[in-house]
Amino acid sequence: MKPIAKSSKLENVGYDIRGPVLDKARQMEDEGQKIIKLNIGNVAAFGLMPPDEIIQDMIRNLPEAAGYTDSKGLFAPRKAVVHYCQEKGIKGVTVDDVYLGNGASELIAFSMNALLDAGDEVLIPSPDYPLYTAVVSLSGGTPVHYRCDEGSGWLPDLDDMRAKITPHTKALVIINPNNPTGALYPDEVLRGIVELARQHGLIVFADEIYDKTLYDGATHTSIASLAEDVVFLTFNGLSKNYRSCGYRSGWMVVSGDKKRAKDYIEGLNMLASMRLCANTPGQLAIQTALGGYQSIKDLVAPGGRLARQRDLAYDLLTQIPGVSVVKPKAALYMFPRLDPKMYPIADDQQFAYDLLAQEKVLIVQGTGFNWPDHDHFRVVFLPNTDDLTEAIGRIARFLDGYRKR
Ligand code: PLP
């Protein structure tokens, strides 16, 4: 009989954060080896637990939360999101503009699906959070990457963005605060992006899932607060700021020139209906999270656990010869550069694989984030300081051996 092949729609779809190197790590773990994981932003897995009030809320609500809800979600948590938009200065948002999802991921996927036809282009950052490149491809669209500039602290290169706009460009994606670089975009950069979107009639997809994970007293501006005449879809959720990624709870807000997007919004509503609704206990946790004690502030404040881990990882990595790092201003990641003269890496997936095999440290290679060159990797600074010290010590040893090869 004919072998069963996967759909050709998957041709350009990849997600290396859970790719072949992770498969090897799993196999090593099954054999009883202990691996230090710097590969994934699975916050609670590192002992950074959700606020207790969210856990208690999930437990208390469970018996009453067995039914489906409205496809966009329950009224009260959507109202809480409306209030959050008000706090962030996003104007004109009503409950009708808020969609709750099984994490932001589901909403990102169906918002691209509802928009794109074959040949439509979407501008996506490079490096990116790879879900965007994958879902644009899966939706039949074409991902076009604009460069973020390491020299300017990984800010989007607006000239490159502008140069890549064609008559087929429908939307642009920004991830702010950024995964994998930890960049936080200043208002003047956001205004430049809004201006490009305005001139070319592009929808702005704004991923703001790390908007409260900010260091050094920084503040975050929602790009959707900067204009009312551009269409924005803003994504957020409980996974990171509230350390609840397993509860699969996120939201999407449509704002700005909604009249222009009337037909698109019908498409969004249709796709929301087709998947019935987001999980009900996760929806119910949103109100408690947004209205409760914002314990993330304690973790990111000077001396807080995340701030200490960021500082340590930065200090240790930058002490390794030929490694440079832009210090993250936000989120949970850094994206170190390996000087290609010292580390001429032909295949960075093989590099990650060799590091895992030799030193039992798991990272994700830069090309996994649609970065074109084999000269970066991503580190998640969620492990505690002992594990980070051990892991980065092993990376240093591996790189020392690499240089002497
Ligand atoms: N967006 C970004 C930038 C992320 O880094 C992640 C997860 O790492 C997600 C979205 C996924 O969020 P969720 O857990 O809400 O699906």
Mean pLDDT of the chain: 95
213 lines ligand 1 (CB under 6 A): no
Asked if residue 61 and residue 14 are part of one domain, the reply reads no
pLDDT tens, 236-250?
Answer: 999 999 999 999 999
Q: Which residues contact 272 (CB under 8 A, 6 or more apart)?
A: 71, 72, 99, 110
Residue 19 lies in a domain: yes
ipTM of the prediction: 0.99
Domain boundary among 291, 323, 338: 291
Asked if residue 85 and residue 32 are part of one domain, the reply reads no
Segment 129-145 shows an average pLDDT of 95
Segment 160-169 shows an average pLDDT of 98
Asked if residue 179 and residue 77 are part of one domain, the reply reads yes
pLDDT of residue 9: 84
Testing ligand 1's pocket by substitution, the residue of 81, 240, 332 carrying the most ligand atoms inside 8 A of its CB is 240
Asked if residue 178 and residue 140 are part of one domain, the reply reads yes
Give residue 17 CA to ligand 1 midpoint distance, Å: 12
Asked if residue 312 and residue 229 are part of one domain, the reply reads no
Q: What is the pTM of this model?
A: 0.96
- The CATH number of whichever domain residue 208 belongs to comes to 3.40.640.10
pLDDT of residue 395: 97
pLDDT tens, 358-393?
Answer: 999 999 999 999 999 999 999 999 999 999 999 999
Angle at which helices 103-113 and 262-274 pack, to 10 degrees?
A: 130
How many structural domains are present in the chain? 2
Asked if residue 270 and residue 153 are part of one domain, the reply reads yes
234 lines ligand 1 (CB under 6 A): no
Determine the Cα–Cα distance for residues 78 and 95; give it in Å rounded to an integer: 6
Nearest CA to ligand 1 atom 11: 105
pLDDT of residue 45: 87
Segment 315-336 shows an average pLDDT of 98
98 lines ligand 1 (CB under 6 A): no
Domain boundary among 291, 324, 341: 291
- Tell me the residue range of the domain where 43 lies: 8-49+298-403
Asked if residue 194 and residue 311 are part of one domain, the reply reads no
pLDDT of residue 17: 66
pLDDT tens, 209-218?
Answer: 999 999 999 9
Phi-psi region of 303 (alpha: psi -120 to 50; beta: other; left: phi over 0): left
